Amino acid sequence: MATSSLGMQGFIARLNMTQLAAPVLILMILAMMVLPLPAFVLDVLFTFNIAISVLVLLVAVNTRKTLDFSVFPTVLLVTTLLRLSLNVASTRIVMLQGHTGPDAAGKVIEAFGHFLVGGNFAVGIVVFMILVVINFVVITKGAGRVAEVSARFTLDAMPGKQMAIDADLNAGLIGEEDARKRRTDISREAEFFGSMDGASKFVRGDAVAGIVIMLLNVVGGLVVGVVQHDMELAVAAKNYTLLTIGDGLVAQIPGLIISIAAGMVVTRVSDDRDIGQQVMGQMFKNGKAIAVTAAIVGFLGLIPGMPNLVFLMLASLLGWFAWNLIEKEKKIVETPVQVAAAPVQESMEATWSDVAPLDVLGLEVGYRLIPLVDKSQDGELLRRIRGIRKKFAQEVGFLVSPVHIRDNLELKPNAYRILLKGVEVGVGEAYAGQYLAINPGRVAGTLSGTATKDPAFGLPAIWIDASQRDQAQAYGYTVVDASTVVATHLNHLILTHASELLGRQEVQQLLEHLGKEIPKLVEDLVPKILPLGTLQKVLQGLLDEGVHIRDMRTIIETVADHATRTQNADDLTTQVRNALGRAIVQQIFPGSGEMQVMSLDPTLERLLAQAVAGGSENTSFEPGLADTLVRETVLAAQRQEALGLPAVLLVPASLRLLLSRFLRRTVPLLKVLAHNEVPETRIIKVTSIIGGKT
């Protein structure tokens, strides 16, 4: 017996009270519908219902983001069930004890039936019906409609939001954990508005049930009072009607409060401030608007027959408030910064220190974009650039030079340009404080703003104000801020010019880093067998075709195996590609599914093989053959992209390097693979034949 007692105590100790709260509350609500309750317990429960409704309203008012109160649909259901169970319990006691007097169902119902409506049941019925109409027709119906539309727009905007998350992840602006959390928040937001759409039906049903319960209580009370207790009709009507009205009001007022909370939750826009701060910051911040309002109210107060004193008092109060706001705005004046004149110095002879080395990577911004890159102002773009360099090093395999940022007064205020070794490789415009809504191809509506193009990929886009951000996401646009626009453009250009960023210094640093793991292999290869410049050309040849060089161990081992037979960088690059074939294919076709590629017609393939049979490094094609090859490759690549497939051309090993260089300018996204680079385990499916009509 002692062992059993200890086991029970251990079981109770392991129970979490918060886990028991929900099922116990539901069981209590169901019990109230079945078991008779004394009047005092009803008073306690009615008071608890009012307190819960006020608490829900205050939490909704102080919620900053919709998902901060994601449990609200469940709370809505539970509070509705609580009110209905209280209606059932109070109806039972009204029918059983209503003949004894107005306090038969407890002091709370008596107070609502006498104090709030003055003991006049006709007034009580009117007040009750007005509250029901306000709750059912105005607040609940409007909140339900907003939740329904928000749920649909949230679902429509999910692809665009997912694309924005993927873009930030690919650019290195966020980590995998942050991306997973943001994707979860998007799903939760859609589920929340869908649940609110359904939960609003509970409140509407509660309003209808309140009307039906009131009618049944009045009719049932008259029957019980007159038939069973031999009461006069007038006395029975007064007693039971007042009790019914009190019961209805004590249920409808908390229901109205809960409905108002629901409306506030679904109609608010996510912000870092609560509703009170938003209202004060947006409605009572414009002194001119308040001054005009004061003038209009004062004019109305001068009209004969109007309540002049009330209007003039309110106009004076508004005028005083507007005057204070305008005076505060006048005091906020930016003090100009006094720049001391530079001391005049005697001219000095030119020295070698005047020859400044060029920055490998540079970013110049107009003066309005300086806050994005200012450390003192916690510029967001600086953090994003650090993330880009880190992600590039992890994925591509080497660390690019730091990005040197400076302001350029010769640029437009919102313009920026990206330099590679002093030469402009990219230019664009960004507007701090605004958002770029990028059209991914399918959007549900149009936006007002400044039309432009995404500087990184050339997609149509619009610069919009922050107030339009949620609307743009609902329409399906991919919405990013100014820092993300510049960072994405910079990341795209770094990937595009990766081979130019890999200089001899970077190769030497890469070998020193690799030498910590395989020092003997690195020492034997460079410079004993292969010059550093030749290894640099091999790595640049890989980067030119988008092949990552993370697997430096395989690259070094392959080069070491073949460097004794050839020092030609192209031949060594071909051997390295063969060794990296599995990684190259995996980079283009993730997973283990079939590879859907383009191929050459045998006739065209034979003609090209004859053209390169001479072995000359400067092989040229006959003009007609070259034109056919380019034209049909472009068409085939477009068909691949339309199917959502990468544009990959599979050719014999002898043609791979020549075709890759020849077609790279015409079809930049084309990848040319050799047959011997494809692992034997991968299944190949040819989707297009190039040169079938040749």
C-alpha to C-alpha distances, 528 to 496, 518, 520, nearest whole angstrom: 32, 16, 12
Tokens 């309002």 belong to which residue? 293
Please give the mean pLDDT across all residues of the chain: 80
- Look at residue 6 in the predicted model and tell me its pLDDT: 46
- Kindly report each contact of residues 465-474 with a partner whose C-beta sits within 8 Å and lies 24 or more positions away, as own/partner: 465/434, 465/435, 466/433, 466/434, 466/435, 468/435, 468/437, 469/435, 470/269, 470/270, 471/445, 471/447, 472/435, 472/437, 472/447, 473/157, 473/160, 473/161, 474/153, 474/154, 474/156, 474/157, 474/444
Return the HEC string of 259-307: HHHHHHHHHCCCCCCCHHHHHHHHHCCCHHHHHHHHHHHHHHHCCCCCC
Task: Choose among 250, 6, 234: nearest CA to 128.
Answer: 250
13-37 as b/e, with b when 16 or more CB fall inside 10 Å? eeeeeeeeeeeeeeeebeebeeeeb
Distance CA 533, CA 246 (A): 93
- The stretch 287-305 carries a mean pLDDT of 79
Distance CA 12, CA 69 (A): 30
Which DSSP string corresponds to 66-86?
GGGGTTHHHHHHHHHHHHHHH
Q: Is 479 helix (H, G, I), strand (E, B) or coil?
A: strand
Q: What is the pLDDT of residues 478-511, one digit of tens each?
A: 999 999 999 999 999 999 999 999 999 999 999 9
Distance CA 342, CA 298 (A): 58
**pLDDT of 338 above 70:** no
- Look at residue 425 in the predicted model and tell me its pLDDT: 94
- Look at residue 1 in the predicted model and tell me its pLDDT: 46
- The stretch 574-578 carries a mean pLDDT of 94
Q: What is the pLDDT of residues 23-78, one digit of tens each?
A: 777 777 777 777 777 777 777 887 888 888 888 888 887 777 777 777 878 887 88
**pLDDT of 279 above 90:** no
Residue 110 CB partners (closer than 8 Å, separation 6+)? 102, 103, 246
Burial (CB count <10 Å: 0-12, 13-18, 19+), residue 499: middle
Q: How confident is the model at residue 269 (pLDDT cuts 50, 70, 90)?
A: low
Q: What is the pLDDT of residues 301-333, one digit of tens each?
A: 787 777 777 778 888 888 888 788 777 776 654
- Look at residue 350 in the predicted model and tell me its pLDDT: 77
Architecture of domain 357-499: 3-Layer(aba) Sandwich (3.40)
Pairing of the two strands 648-651 and 595-600: parallel
Q: What is the pLDDT of residues 104-153, one digit of tens each?
A: 666 777 776 666 656 666 776 777 777 777 776 776 677 667 666 666 66
Pairing of the two strands 361-365 and 415-420: antiparallel
Pairing of the two strands 435-438 and 478-481: antiparallel
- Report percent pLDDT > 70 for the chain: 81
Tokens 């399918």 belong to which residue? 442
Residue type, 213: I
- Look at residue 670 in the predicted model and tell me its pLDDT: 92
610-636 as b/e, with b when 16 or more CB fall inside 10 Å? ebeeeeeeeeebeeeeeebbbebbbeb
Residue 317 tokens read as 């109060």
Distance CA 649, CA 633 (A): 9
- Look at residue 334 in the predicted model and tell me its pLDDT: 46
Q: How confident is the model at residue 474 (pLDDT cuts 50, 70, 90)?
A: confident
C-alpha to C-alpha distances, 32 to 36, 82, 217, nearest whole angstrom: 7, 9, 18
* Helices 653-664 and 602-611, packing angle to 10 deg: 90
- Look at residue 558 in the predicted model and tell me its pLDDT: 93
Q: How confident is the model at residue 454 (pLDDT cuts 50, 70, 90)?
A: very high
- Look at residue 270 in the predicted model and tell me its pLDDT: 56
Residue 263 CB partners (closer than 8 Å, separation 6+)? 139, 142, 143, 146
On whether the CB atoms of residues 171 and 220 are closer than 8 A, the answer is no
- Look at residue 678 in the predicted model and tell me its pLDDT: 93
- Look at residue 283 in the predicted model and tell me its pLDDT: 66
- Look at residue 437 in the predicted model and tell me its pLDDT: 94
- Look at residue 554 in the predicted model and tell me its pLDDT: 93
**pLDDT of 289 above 80:** no
Distance CA 199, CA 203 (A): 7
Question: Which of the listed ranges 3-17, 370-384, 430-444 does the model predict with the highest average pLDDT?
Answer: 430-444
* DSSP designation for 648: E
- The stretch 159-166 carries a mean pLDDT of 71
Cβ neighbours around 408 below 10 Å, total: 15
Q: How confident is the model at residue 537 (pLDDT cuts 50, 70, 90)?
A: very high
Residue 632 CB partners (closer than 8 Å, separation 6+)? 690, 691
CATH number for 502-579 (one of 3.50.30.10, 1.10.8.540, 1.10.1740.10, 2.60.40.10): it is 1.10.8.540
Q: Is 450 helix (H, G, I), strand (E, B) or coil?
A: strand
Q: What is the pLDDT of residues 607-631, one digit of tens each?
A: 888 877 765 555 667 777 888 888 9
- The stretch 449-472 carries a mean pLDDT of 91
Q: What is the pLDDT of residues 627-682, one digit of tens each?
A: 888 899 999 998 998 888 899 999 999 899 989 988 888 888 899 999 999 998 89
**Residue 118 backbone zone (phi > 0: left; psi -120 to 50: alpha; other: beta):** left
- The hierarchical CATH code for the domain 591-694 is 3.40.50.12790
- Look at residue 536 in the predicted model and tell me its pLDDT: 93
Task: Choose among 213, 242, 254, 255: nearest CA to 112.
Answer: 242
On whether the CB atoms of residues 266 and 143 are closer than 8 A, the answer is yes
> What is the residue extent of each domain of the chain?
24-158+169-271, 284-326, 357-499, 502-579, 591-694
Residue 129 CB partners (closer than 8 Å, separation 6+)? 211
Q: Is 173 helix (H, G, I), strand (E, B) or coil?
A: coil
**pLDDT of 200 above 60:** yes
- Look at residue 497 in the predicted model and tell me its pLDDT: 93
**Which of 206-220, 401-415, 446-460 has the least mean pLDDT?**
206-220
On whether the CB atoms of residues 437 and 476 are closer than 8 A, the answer is no
Cβ neighbours around 551 below 10 Å, total: 17
On whether the CB atoms of residues 462 and 451 are closer than 8 A, the answer is yes
**pLDDT of 386 above 80:** yes
**Residue 476 backbone zone (phi > 0: left; psi -120 to 50: alpha; other: beta):** left
Residue 316 CB partners (closer than 8 Å, separation 6+)? 294, 298
